[in-house]
């Protein structure tokens, strides 16, 4: 044992040379403190506006010697725009021309000449692959930086026209770094990271949400947000809000001042109210400079409500996915999109290609997702579902796996039968999405891209291959487009949508997906006899689930709990919309959508609608199982926002399924507003 007088100096030396790297990692003894980052111009980082990052690096105890390297990684949104028309516009940072886009380099006069630069693309600092990531490297070629000396780095965002832009969404996050000594005597270590906060732009939209169903006299809650043009929440209210409140609605003030509005934390306004008479109601709100906002309808029952209508997004991604970006999707779903339930479906692997199934997300990422599912769950207020996406090739296609609890295994993926065998004993459910899509390489002519996709990039679904695998639902709509039936000319086809969400004007031809001709769509699955409900999800990749026009699932359930929401999805008590919260009630002889029912006589079909605008068309579709074809049983045009219809199918004679498709006269952010019910399967009594 060392004498005490010798042991103490050695201990002091190790404490001085070791410590935390700022991200929970302990630096090895023998490393000098690697220094820290600081963003110098946070106040100028406004979403979608001209901007650049000024980043200070303060050297650590060892300073920086010739041969040393700084490696840094920005949030993904600073590398790419995950939007229409290009969903994978990975920009390569350069250090040759400071006046050009995507520049990074040292600004400090003569010191700048002592550095060289390089970029490692498609990698993160932790070594994991990522479709959009890059590591920026700054090498000191000569001279040194003293301990505690600072240099300033200039980093420009992507270029869209004349100005360098701050990312529209997903730009906030952490700037991580690593110090790589040129000397083998010292170890690499993580640099203390810096928080990068992108501010919302000017207010562009007022969003008001009400519960969809209630009963006379009960306490209900209005929620309201102010959003910029990129769907980021504005935390501060500068102008008063005036409400237009219908008769019988009690508790909502005529006007709220900025002081009243800013007394609510984070800019989310919540107002309790009651309604004293049955019927449907909407609330309008106005603030200076913006269009009047109209809430979704709330239907008030004269009697006790047995089932309520809840809204959620079952398909969205964050920076955990190899092709995602942005933080805190659960918070966005709850506090910005004002959803009732949400499932984050990040990719279960960050590898592409045929060997993806063998490489899962790191355990830490999956544990963090499970923790968020647990932490954000609040029965009666906000329901979270644990889920992930398994992106398999054809004929299985892309599947989301949903668990009934906040804990579940992240399992190797593969074709659908393999996935199901792996998860079935955990009570999980599997839902397919964009089942008819093939991926289009924008560098190839379309006919070559179609041919190429058949052999390499197909992810379409062949329903006959796994007809025996239990699946409760099918995603009929997402930002990719509609999956109801093959129609490449439809304004919501894959060809005309992509992952972009234009705010106004006609849809752009994004060419991120092409509709594959053949039996790959919802109607084909239903015609084969598969009992699948209709759901929708955004498939958002910017941690903005539930944003307008991106796809929502409506669930009829007894209560807002995880158990009831999960059971209602499995029971097909669901319908899909392009994002508007349309109230749709579809029944046959009293049996609700999603049911299998046996009847005597003819089916008596009833449909009740409370829309967000006038209805352009409502069709009741029917398909006689085993014979077909698809037929329009009833086609109703030019209806008001609220109406009821009924019809009797006097041609009914054998097993038949029915579903409702609806289109309103309005558009939401450039996309027509539609809804699709889950089918009802009807069998004649023997």
Which residues are CB-contacts of 395 (< 8 A; sequence separation ≥ 6)?
415, 460, 461, 462, 465, 466
Given 528, 545, 579, the domain boundary residue is 579
pLDDT at 199: 95
Q: Residues 405, 381: one domain?
A: yes
- 333 and 315 Cβ atoms separated by less than 8 Å: no
Q: Residues 207, 239: one domain?
A: yes
The domain spanning residue 49 has which CATH number?
Answer: 2.60.40
Q: Residues 458, 530: one domain?
A: yes
pLDDT at 512: 65
- 501 and 546 Cβ atoms separated by less than 8 Å: no
- 3-class secondary structure, 501: coil
pLDDT tens digits along 126-144 = 877 777 788 999 999 999 9
**Burial grade of 41 (CB within 10 A; 0-12, 13-18, 19 or more):** exposed
The answer as to whether 23 is a domain residue is no
pLDDT at 91: 66
Q: What is the mean pLDDT of residues 159-166?
A: 74
pLDDT at 263: 97
The answer as to whether 484 is a domain residue is yes
**Euclidean distance between the first and final Cα of the chain, in Å?**
92
Q: Residues 113, 231: one domain?
A: no
The answer as to whether 655 is a domain residue is yes
| Confidence check: pLDDT of 337 > 80 | yes
* Secondary structure (DSSP) of 167-208: -SSS--EEEEEEEE-SSTTS--EEEEEEEE-PBP-SEEEEEE
Q: Residues 636, 489: one domain?
A: no
pLDDT at 650: 96
The answer as to whether 436 is a domain residue is yes
The answer, yes or no, to whether the previous bond of 395 is cis (omega within 30 of 0) is yes
Q: What is the mean pLDDT of residues 132-161?
A: 88
Residue 81's pLDDT band (boundaries 50, 70, 90)? Answer: low
The answer as to whether 24 is a domain residue is no
The answer as to whether 6 is a domain residue is no
The domain spanning residue 212 has which CATH number?
Answer: 2.60.40.10
Q: Residues 644, 681: one domain?
A: yes
Q: Which two tokens stand for residue 145?
A: 């930086």
- For 467, the domain range is 311-579
pLDDT tens digits along 646-664 = 999 999 999 999 999 999 9
Q: What percentage of residues in the chain have a pLDDT greater than 90?
A: 65
pLDDT tens digits along 191-227 = 999 999 999 999 999 999 999 999 999 999 999 999 9
pLDDT at 471: 87
| Confidence check: pLDDT of 379 > 70 | yes
The answer as to whether 18 is a domain residue is no
pLDDT at 122: 78
pLDDT at 410: 84
Q: Residues 111, 248: one domain?
A: no
Given 555, 579, 603, the domain boundary residue is 579
pLDDT tens digits along 478-524 = 999 999 999 999 999 988 886 654 433 333 434 467 888 889 999 99
Buried b (16+ CB within 10 A) or exposed e, 71-110: bbbbbbbbbbbbbbbbbeebbebbbeeeeebbbbbbeeee
Number of structural domains found in the chain: 4
| Confidence check: pLDDT of 90 > 60 | no
d(CA 375, CA 385): 11
Given 516, 544, 579, the domain boundary residue is 579
The answer as to whether 8 is a domain residue is no
The domain spanning residue 545 has which CATH number?
Answer: 3.20.20.140
pLDDT tens digits along 266-285 = 999 999 999 999 999 999 99
- 3-class secondary structure, 310: strand
pLDDT at 506: 33
**Burial grade of 258 (CB within 10 A; 0-12, 13-18, 19 or more):** middle
pLDDT tens digits along 415-435 = 888 877 777 767 889 999 999
Which residue stretches of 638-677 are H helix? none
Q: What is the β-pairing status of strands 596-599 and 680-684?
A: parallel
Q: Residues 636, 596: one domain?
A: yes
Q: Residues 122, 191: one domain?
A: yes
Q: What is the mean pLDDT of residues 653-679?
A: 96
Q: Residues 182, 280: one domain?
A: no
Residue 669's pLDDT band (boundaries 50, 70, 90)? Answer: confident
pLDDT tens digits along 5-32 = 333 333 333 333 343 333 333 333 334 5
Q: What percentage of residues in the chain have a pLDDT greater than 70?
A: 86
Which residue stretches of 336-410 are H helix? 363-376
- 349 or 229, which is more confident: 229
pLDDT at 403: 94
Q: What is the mean pLDDT of residues 232-240?
A: 96
Q: Residues 568, 589: one domain?
A: no
Q: Residues 454, 588: one domain?
A: no
């Amino acid at each position: 044992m060392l004498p005490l007088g010798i042991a103490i100096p050695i201990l002091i030396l190790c404490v001085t040379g070791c410590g935390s790297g700022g991200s929970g990692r302990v630096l090895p003894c023998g490393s000098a403190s690697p220094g820290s980052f600081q963003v110098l111009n946070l106040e100028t980082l406004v979403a979608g506006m001209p901007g650049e990052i000024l980043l200070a690096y303060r050297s650590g105890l060892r300073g920086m010697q010739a041969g040393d390297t700084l490696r840094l990684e920005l949030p993904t949104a600073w590398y790419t725009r995950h939007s229409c028309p290009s969903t994978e516009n990975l920009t390569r940072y350069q250090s040759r021309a400071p006046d050009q886009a995507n520049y990074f380099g040292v600004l400090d006069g003569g010191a700048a000449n002592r550095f060289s630069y390089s970029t490692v693309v498609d990698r993160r600092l932790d070594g994991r692959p990522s479709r959009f990531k890059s590591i920026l490297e700054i090498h000191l070629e000569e001279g040194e930086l003293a301990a505690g000396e600072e240099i300033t780095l200039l980093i420009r965002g992507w270029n869209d026209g004349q100005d360098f832009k701050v990312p529209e969404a997903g730009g906030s996050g952490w700037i991580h770094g690593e110090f790589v000594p040129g000397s083998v005597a010292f170890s690499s270590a993580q640099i203390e990271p810096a928080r990068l906060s992108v501010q919302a732009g000017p207010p562009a939209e007022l969003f008001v949400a009400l519960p969809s169903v209630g009963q006379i006299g009960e306490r209900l809650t209005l929620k309201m947000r102010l959003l910029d043009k990129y769907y980021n929440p504005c935390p501060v209210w500068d102008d008063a809000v005036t409400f237009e409140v219908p008769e019988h609605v009690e508790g909502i003030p005529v006007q709220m001042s900025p002081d009243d509005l800013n007394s609510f934390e984070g800019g989310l306004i919540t107002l309790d109210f009651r309604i004293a008479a049955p019927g449907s109601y909407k609330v309008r709100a106005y603030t200076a400079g913006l269009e009047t906002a109209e809430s979704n309808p709330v239907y008030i029952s004269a009697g006790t409500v047995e089932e309520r209508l809840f809204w959620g997004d079952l398909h969205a991604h964050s920076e955990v996915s190899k092709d995602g970006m942005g933080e805190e999707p659960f918070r966005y779903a709850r506090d910005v999109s004002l959803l009732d339930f949400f499932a984050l479906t990040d990719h279960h692997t960050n590898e592409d290609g045929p060997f993806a199934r063998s490489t899962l997300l790191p355990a830490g990422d999956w544990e963090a997702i499970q923790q968020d599912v647990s932490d954000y769950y609040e029965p009666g207020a906000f329901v979270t579902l644990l889920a992930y996406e398994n992106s398999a090739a054809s004929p299985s296609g892309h599947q989301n796996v949903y668990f009934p609890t906040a804990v579940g295994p992240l399992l190797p993926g593969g074709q659908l039968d393999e996935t199901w065998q792996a998860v079935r004993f955990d009570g999980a459910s599997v839902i397919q999405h964009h089942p008819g899509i093939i991926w289009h390489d924008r560098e190839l002519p379309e006919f070559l891209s179609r041919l190429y996709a058949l052999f390499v990039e197909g992810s379409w679904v062949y329903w006959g291959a796994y007809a025996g695998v239990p699946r409760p639902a099918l995603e009929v709509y997402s930002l990719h487009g509609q999956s109801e039936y093959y129609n490449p000319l439809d304004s919501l086809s894959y060809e005309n949508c992509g992952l972009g969400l234009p705010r106004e004007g006609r849809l752009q031809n994004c060419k991120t997906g092409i509709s594959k001709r053949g039996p790959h769509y919802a109607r084909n699955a239903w015609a084969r006899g598969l009992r699948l409900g209709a759901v929708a999800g955004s498939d958002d990749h910017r941690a903005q689930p539930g944003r307008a026009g991106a796809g929502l699932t409506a669930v009829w359930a007894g209560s807002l709990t995880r158990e009831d929401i999960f059971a209602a999805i499995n029971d097909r008590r669901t319908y899909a919309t392009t994002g508007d919260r349309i109230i749709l009630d579809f029944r046959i002889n009293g049996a609700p959508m999603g049911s299998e029912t046996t009847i005597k006589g003819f089916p008596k079909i009833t449909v009740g609608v409370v829309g967000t605008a006038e209805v352009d068309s409502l069709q009741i579709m029917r398909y006689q199982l085993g014979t077909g074809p698809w037929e329009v049983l009833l086609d109703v045009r030019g209806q008001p926002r609220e109406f009821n219809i009924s019809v009797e199918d006097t041609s009914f004679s054998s097993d038949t399924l029915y579903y409702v498709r609806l289109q309103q006269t309005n558009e939401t952010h450039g996309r027509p507003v539609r809804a699709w019910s889950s089918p009802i399967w009807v069998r004649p009594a023997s």
